[in-house]
Each structure stands twice: as C-alpha cells, then as structure tokens.
C-alpha cells in the first residue's frame, strides 16, 4: 500500500464542487486498489484574495510543493475582474506554475463517440473522431516576460502623440524550448507519432529558434514525423482537419489560444482534463480545462467529468497507477454510454440528466464494477 499526499485547491466558482467529485472518485480508487490518498485542502484564487488579500498564500504554495500531486478546480470570476494583474485570481495559477516548475501543459481534446453530435463541426469533418494532445509551454514566453506601461514621448506618423504605451516581451531560451519539445516528441511516440510544431516563424525570432531546436533534437525521435505550421494556419487546419492531427507542441500563448479552439471542436469543454508537469519526481498539477463557470456555481449542476478525468491523468502521470487511471476513464465512458449526462453535454431529450453528485456516484459505481 502506498500513501499519496494530494494537495487540493478547489478555488472559485464551480471549483469546489468538481474537486469534491474527483476526491470522491480517488477515495474509491484508494479503497479498491488498497492505496491511501490523504487530501490537504488549501485556498488560492479569488477566495484567497477575499480572505488574505493574496491570490496565492504561501501556506497554499508550500502545501502544493510538499505534495505528490495537486488537484485544482478553477480560479477567477467577475467579482475580481477589476483588480490589477498581480492581485487577480489568475496570478495564483501563474504563480503555482512557475513555483512548481510546471513547464509542460498537456491538454487533451477528445471527441467522445457518445458525444459526437456535440461538435460544432460538420459530421464529414469529424467522422473519424478527434483526439488531439496539445503540449503547451507553460512557464515561459510572453506570459512571463518583462512587461510595462507608461507615457510615451513619441508620435504616430501624422504627429498624434502616442499617449500611454504598454509592452509585453516574448522571450524563449534554447533550454526552455528543448525541454518542452522533448515532451512533445515523447508523447508523440506514445501516440500516433505525428507532431506539429506551431509557431509564427515568418515573423518572430523566438519561433525561428523553436524551429532550429526542433531540427536539432528531431533525429533522436526518428519514428516521429514532424512538421512546422504557422499558428494562423494551425487555427484554420484545426477546423478543416482536426481528425488528422495528433500532437501539437507550441509556446505558452499559442497553446492557450489553440487549446480553447480544440476544446470547442469537441463540443464539450466540460469533459476535458489537463495536466501540468515539471521535471520527473516533482508534483504535477491536474485541473479541468473549463473555468470557474460562476453562473452555475453552487447549483449542483456542474459537470464533474473533466476533473474526474484530470484525476485519472494524475493517477497515471504522477502516482504510477496507470491501470487505475484507465479504469476511471473507462468508467466515465461507460456512464456516457448508458445515456447519463450533465446539463452542459445533453443533446437529446432522451438523455438522463444528472447533477454533479449523481454523476459522480454513477462514475464510482461503474468504476467499482470494473
Ligand atoms: C488557461 C487560462 C489561464 C492561462 C489564465 C486564467 C491565466 O486561460 O489555463 O488556459 O492563460 O493560462
Ligand atoms: Mg486559456
């Protein structure tokens, strides 16, 4: 029996409801597999701003650093939208990523066969399914670069004073690029062995460095066929031929944008899990791709499946329990196959609509029967 310390950060909005569901599932996994999960709950995000005037209190960060893995719900909401950058709930996310060294963000966009008609794309485009892994660099680039705002002395061509000017810097080092590309190639090896490196190399110096580093390390992965694609084209190809795409590896900002697009293609953002990983042996962080959905918070109707699937990723990638991970994923599929849906993924009047708790119970029931 192994004891695993899980740091749980429920966060804001529907975060507390969906993390509670995933913890219930993990408890069932513990009971069935003979392992023990010890949950330590801490606060971060908007609720931490309200309580401590700090989106990421140091005790919360310490708990995360000392855990085997972190389960995060979601942070943010309209209540905190007016606050300056460093005081916003999102600063908790960026802080956790940076402090835990979580440079690789894995976002899976899968079109579940049971939910095929949820995709906004035409049937003939998605008939072969969609299963794309987006590997997003998470601790570098423009989200962490130098930034500033201040009055400018300059003028436009016609003499109009520029007024206030702001800037954000995109900066990437060879080492940062190399480690994320290695994650991309390694994951491609475990999947369909096709990798797309997305960039804007026709404009950006950083992108040209990404290409150079790709060419340097690609020979170590001879089985992976890779190609470069400009981000504007990639956003188009996602709509045109999502079925053909396997693994995308890209910078922080491009990955942020494309992963939302890919999530939308599946039609069920409430289903999509993610993992943020650093060096082996360090705690990873697992969270649903959807946000805090403040409009439905506290109503008991949030879809817990993305967080449950995130906990499956945790079992596989941080806790070495791949078999249990697969069983949890199968349980989710089996519940969908039985026609159970939360409201956000319901497509037909024949669906059996469940709330957060009932859906969680169904998944646990299916898991225990496996
Ligand atoms: C995401 C979100 C975050 C990001 C925000 C909330 C900071 O959009 O996880 O994709 O941009 O990384
Ligand atoms: Mg985003």
Confidence class for position 78, pLDDT limits 50, 70, 90: very high
Choose the residue to mutate in 9, 13, 85, 90 for probing ligand 1, maximizing ligand atoms within 8 Å of C-beta: 90
Name the least confident of 194-198, 264-268, 356-360: 264-268
Confidence class for position 230, pLDDT limits 50, 70, 90: very high
Q: Check whether residue 227 and residue 299 sit in a common domain.
A: no
- Per-residue model confidence (pLDDT) at position 114: 84
How many CB atoms sit inside 10 A of residue 353's CB?
15
Nearest to 126 by CA among 106, 146, 110, 107: 110
Name the least confident of 69-73, 127-131, 227-231: 127-131
- Per-residue model confidence (pLDDT) at position 370: 85
The answer to whether position 344 is within a domain reads yes
* Residue 234 reports pLDDT greater than 90: yes
* Mean pLDDT confidence for 341-358: 93
Asked if residues 90 and 75 have their Cβ atoms less than 8 Å apart, the reply is yes
Asked if residues 299 and 124 have their Cβ atoms less than 8 Å apart, the reply is no
Q: How far is the CA of 256 from the centre of ligand 1 (A)?
A: 7
CATH, residue 187: 3.40.50.2300
Asked if residues 285 and 22 have their Cβ atoms less than 8 Å apart, the reply is no
Q: Is 155 exposed, middle or buried (0-12, 13-18, 19+ CB in 10 A)?
A: exposed
| 16, 31, 84, 297, 298 from 11: Cα distances, Å | 6, 26, 19, 12, 13
- Per-residue model confidence (pLDDT) at position 269: 87
Q: Check whether residue 223 and residue 235 sit in a common domain.
A: yes
Q: What is the pLDDT of residues 306-325, one digit of tens each?
A: 999 999 999 999 999 999 99
The answer to whether position 159 is within a domain reads no
Half-sphere exposure of 265 (CA within 13 A, CB side): 28
Q: Check whether residue 318 and residue 369 sit in a common domain.
A: yes
Specify the residue with its C-alpha closest to ligand 1, atom 6: 90
Domain total of the chain:
2
* Residue 85 reports pLDDT greater than 80: no
Nearest to 303 by CA among 351, 357, 352: 357
- Per-residue model confidence (pLDDT) at position 152: 97
Q: How far is the CA of 290 from the centre of ligand 2 (A)?
A: 9
Nearest to 306 by CA among 274, 275, 283, 343: 274
- Per-residue model confidence (pLDDT) at position 348: 87
* Residue 116 reports pLDDT greater than 90: no
Half-sphere exposure of 351 (CA within 13 A, CB side): 18
* Residue 7 lies in domain: 1-119+274-370
Q: Check whether residue 319 and residue 278 sit in a common domain.
A: yes
Give the mean pLDDT of the chain: 96
């Amino acid at each position: 029996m192994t004891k695993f310390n899980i740091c749980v950060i429920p966060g804001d909005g529907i975060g507390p409801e969906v993390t509670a569901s995933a913890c219930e599932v993990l408890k069932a996994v513990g009971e069935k597999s003979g392992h023990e999960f010890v949950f330590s709950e801490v606060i971060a995000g908007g609720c931490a701003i309200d309580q401590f005037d700090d989106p990421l209190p140091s005790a919360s960060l310490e708990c995360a650093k000392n855990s085997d893995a972190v389960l995060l719900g979601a942070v943010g909401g309209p209540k905190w939208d007016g606050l300056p950058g460093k005081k916003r709930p999102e600063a908790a996310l960026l802080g956790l990523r940076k402090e835990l060294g979580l440079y690789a963000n894995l976002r899976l966009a899968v079109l579940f066969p049971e939910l095929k008609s949820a995709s906004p794309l035409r049937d003939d485009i998605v008939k072969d399914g969609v299963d794309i892994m987006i590997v997003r660099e998470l601790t570098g680039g423009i989200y962490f670069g130098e930034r500033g705002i201040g009055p400018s002395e300059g003028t436009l061509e016609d003499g109009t004073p520029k007024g206030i000017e702001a800037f954000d810097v995109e900066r990437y080092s060879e080492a940062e690029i190399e480690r994320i590309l290695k994650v991309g190639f390694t994951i491609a090896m475990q999947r369909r062995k096709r990798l797309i490196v997305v960039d804007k190399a026709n404009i950006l110096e950083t992108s040209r460095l990404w290409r150079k580093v790709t060419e340097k390390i690609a020979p170590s992965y001879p089985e992976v066929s890779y190609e470069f694609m400009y981000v504007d084209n990639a956003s188009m190809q996602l709509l045109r031929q999502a079925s053909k795409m396997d693994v995308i590896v890209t910078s922080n900002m491009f990955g942020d944008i494309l992963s939302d697009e890919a999530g939308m293609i599946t039609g069920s953002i409430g289903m999509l899990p993610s993992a943020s990983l650093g060096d082996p042996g360090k705690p990873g962080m697992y969270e649903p791709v959807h946000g805090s959905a403040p409009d439905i918070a506290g109503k008991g109707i949030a879809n817990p499946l993305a967080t449950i699937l995130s906990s499956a990723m945790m079992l596989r990638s941080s806790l070495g329990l791949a078999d249990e991970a697969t069983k949890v994923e199968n349980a989710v599929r089996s519940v969908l196959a039985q026609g159970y849906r939360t409201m956000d993924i319901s497509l037909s009047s024949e669906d059996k609509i469940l709330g957060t708790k009932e859906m969680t119970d169904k998944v646990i029931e299916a898991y225990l029967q496996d």
